[in-house]
Every structure is written in C-alpha cells, then in structure tokens.
Amino acid sequence: MHLEEKIAPVRHGMRAAARPVITGSSHSFPDTRTSQDDLWKEFFLEHYDGFPLARRIFENSGISSRSTAVDPRAERAVSGWSTGQRMERYIEEAVPLGKRTVSAALQSAGLDPSDVGMLAVASCTGYTTPGLDLRLADELGMSSKVQRLFIGHMGCYAAVPSLGAVSDYVASRGRPAVLLCLELTSLHVQPPTQDIEQIVAHALFADAAAAVVLEPDAGSGYEVIDVVAVTDHSTADLMSWQITDLGFKMGLSPRVPDVLAQHVGEVVRDQLLAPHGLTPEEVTGWAVHPGGKRILEVVGERLELPAGALDASYGVLDECGNCSSPTVLMVLERLPRTEGPVVAMAFGPGLTLYAALLRRS
C-alpha cells in the first residue's frame, strides 16, 4: 500500500477546524512595587551619578510606578551579578509568579489544569533546563501528556506570534491551550554608564506575567481571526538583547519609532484588516504594546485613531511600565468589553511588528 493510501483515511476523518477563542485571562506582578520617582531618587540617581539627561529620561518616561522582582534599592549589587546568578534568581522568582498567573487565568475560564492540551510559555529574560514550561506543568498538576512550547528571545512582540501558535493548536486539535508570557527585566540592571540606550531601558522596563486561556468554539470571548507580521531586516541593529557575562544587555535606538512609522499603516490596513473587509475606523478596540510614549503617538498618528483609542495602552504604561511580552495581553484585558473587531499589536527586535485580529462576541 502506498503511503498516500495509508494516510488518506486519516485525512478524511479529520475534524473541521475549531474557532480558537480567548475565554480566560489574568496578570500578576512580583511583590515589590515602587514609584518611578522613588526608583530614581533612591537608586538610579546615584547609579548615574546625577547625570542630568538620565533624570530627564526618567521624568519623561510616561511611567508613574513599576513592579520588580529585584528591588535595586535593597539589592544594590545587582548590576554586578553574573549571568549565572541572575538565572538562578530567574527560576526562583518565575515559577511562583507563573503558577499564580496561570492558575488565575484557568479559574477565570472555569477550567482545571488537567483540561489543558498545550501550555506555551514566552520569556526572554531567563533560561533554565528543565524549562519554565515543564516546571509549571508539574507545579500546576497538568497531565504528563500535555504538549509544551517555549518561545524565547523574541522580546516585546512575543505574545502575538505565541497567540498565533496556541490558536493553531486549538483550531486543529480542538482542545484548550494556555499561553503565559513572563518577564523579569529587573534581573538585568547593568553597570553605571552614560549610554543613552541603557538609560532608556532602565527607565522603561518592569516585571510582570500575563496568561490567556483559549478554548475551541467557545460561546463568548475574543476569537483569534488572523495574525500577520513584517520584519525590516535593514534596521535589525536598532533593537537587541545580548547575553553578556553581566546578564542581558539591551540595545534600544531612538530611531525605533521612526521605523515603525514607516510600516504600521501598511501592516494594519493592508495585511491585517483589508483581507477581512475591514478598515481601522471599524475596529472597536486597540491593544497596542506601549513600548514608550513616542511609539504610541506614532501608532495613533499613522492609523488616524480617534482620541481615547489608546487609553488602555497609556494606562498600562503609566501604572506598570513596559513589561515586555506580557504587556500587550495586559492592555487587552483593559479594553472595554464591546463587541466587534479588535487589533492587538506589538513590536520588538528585528525590527519586527506583529499584529493580530480578534473579534469580541
């Protein structure tokens, strides 16, 4: 019997693709919460030796408070920790934070950990083997047969392609899946410098975890309709995340908003919305990753969004900072529960822009 004849009956017996729907969500923070002003006065003022430009960057960040796993005011030697020390602390902090977040998301969806067919974890701020995904599956009491996926080193935009991956699983397998995005950027405070890119990174980034639960053909929630992406390879050096002997070091060029301005209109209008017969004016909710104030301004300008369309993004930036991959999911949670199309969008290294079309029902 030919191979085609052997697999044909399996093909004919395959179920129709299910609709992947977000039915539960949650986010969590480490215990330490501080104001931006206190972080500056009580640590970074001395760290940067009163550098006037550093002060202005912190003051103009659009952030009033942040949560961190490592409080540099209490652990002042953090900038000198080896990468090994930082990775040990990562797993110590990430497991309980991830467990708490996934448990709450499952509870909001009315599911038990044993119901989950796939657990996906996205993180770029720490690594361990056995991985965080495996450790969490065990801690949560998931089945030994649960499929696991770890998505690493994609940075701030990781939530959107990860959402696409778990959506494909739910659609093809007809089983629930969980996506967890967890970042602990506070582990990677770098030694003192007058490098503007490092100062901006320290002024913006914070720690958080966010999780979503997807179920097949659920009656209400955000249905995942489509995911699109574009990468401008000519500007790949504008955002970077490099492993060094002293943790992970970020490169963040001030040119990033200008590059995003060149692509965001085409990606959203032409790639994401037009194939579904939609225009930006018909979108009822915008979950845009708040990489910084200027990035949100560029998105609003290029898509000609009405006043207030990005309030959820500005609110998360103000109250939580840029938490890397969990942030866009946190914004999505804040959107008003109105029916209709919703766009979730995030940006990161590459320079890469990812966008997802959701529909609230």
The four Cα atoms 17, 286, 290, 94 give a dihedral, to 10 degrees, of -40
pLDDT of residue 14: 58
Q: Which two tokens stand for residue 334?
A: 């804040």
Across-strand partners of 228? 355
- Cβ neighbours for 88, distance < 8 A, ≥ 6 positions apart: none
pLDDT one-digit tens code per residue, 92-101? 999 999 999 9
pLDDT one-digit tens code per residue, 266-291? 999 999 999 999 999 999 999 999 99
pLDDT of residue 99: 98
Q: Which two tokens stand for residue 335?
A: 């959107």
Name which of 227, 228, 143, 128 is nearest 178 in CA terms: 143
CA 157 to chain centre: 6
Q: Which residue has the tokens 């032409």?
A: 270
Strands 247-252 vs 285-288: parallel, antiparallel or unpaired? unpaired
156 is catalytic: yes
User: With pLDDT > 90 as the criterion, what percentage of the chain qualifies?
Assistant: 89
Q: Which domains does the chain have, with CATH numbers?
A: 20-216 (3.40.47.10), 222-360 (3.40.47.10)
Q: Is 284 helix (H, G, I), strand (E, B) or coil?
A: coil
pLDDT of residue 237: 86
Instruction: Inform me whether the pLDDT recorded for 334 exceeds 70.
Output: yes
pLDDT of residue 15: 67
- Of 124, 156, 320, 323, the active-site residue reads 156
Residue by residue, DSSP assigns 339-361 as SEEEEEEEEETTTEEEEEEEEE-
Q: How far apart are CA 101 and CA 114, in angstroms?
A: 16
Instruction: Inform me whether the pLDDT recorded for 9 exceeds 60.
Output: no
Other residues' Cβ atoms within 10 Å of the Cβ of residue 95 = 17
Instruction: Inform me whether the pLDDT recorded for 320 exceeds 60.
Output: yes
pLDDT of residue 16: 84
Q: How far apart are CA 361 and CA 356, in angstroms?
A: 16
pLDDT one-digit tens code per residue, 138-164? 999 999 999 999 999 899 999 999 999
Q: Which amino acid is at 128?
A: T
- Cβ neighbours for 354, distance < 8 A, ≥ 6 positions apart: 157, 160, 161, 227, 228, 229, 345, 346, 347, 348
Name which of 287, 295, 260 is nearest 61 in CA terms: 295
Question: Which is it for the CA torsion 49, 126, 29, 75, positive or negative?
Answer: negative
pLDDT of residue 350: 87
pLDDT one-digit tens code per residue, 210-269? 999 999 999 899 999 999 999 999 998 888 899 999 999 998 888 899 999 999 999 999
Contact 102, 220 (CB under 8 A): no
Name which of 177, 156, 159 is nearest 168 in CA terms: 177
Phi, psi dihedral angles at 255 (to 5 degrees): -80, -10
Question: Which is it for the CA torsion 106, 109, 113, 119, positive or negative?
Answer: negative
Q: Which residue has the tokens 């943790």?
A: 247
Q: Is 55 helix (H, G, I), strand (E, B) or coil?
A: helix
User: With pLDDT > 70 as the criterion, what percentage of the chain qualifies?
Assistant: 96
Q: Which residue has the tokens 């866009």?
A: 328
Instruction: Inform me whether the pLDDT recorded for 12 exceeds 60.
Output: no
* Average pLDDT over the chain, rounded to an integer: 94
> Is the pTM of the predicted complex or chain greater than 0.85?
yes
Q: Which two tokens stand for residue 205?
A: 């980034």
- Cβ neighbours for 161, distance < 8 A, ≥ 6 positions apart: 151, 154, 227, 229, 354
pLDDT of residue 238: 87
pLDDT one-digit tens code per residue, 17-50? 999 999 999 999 999 999 999 999 999 999 999 8
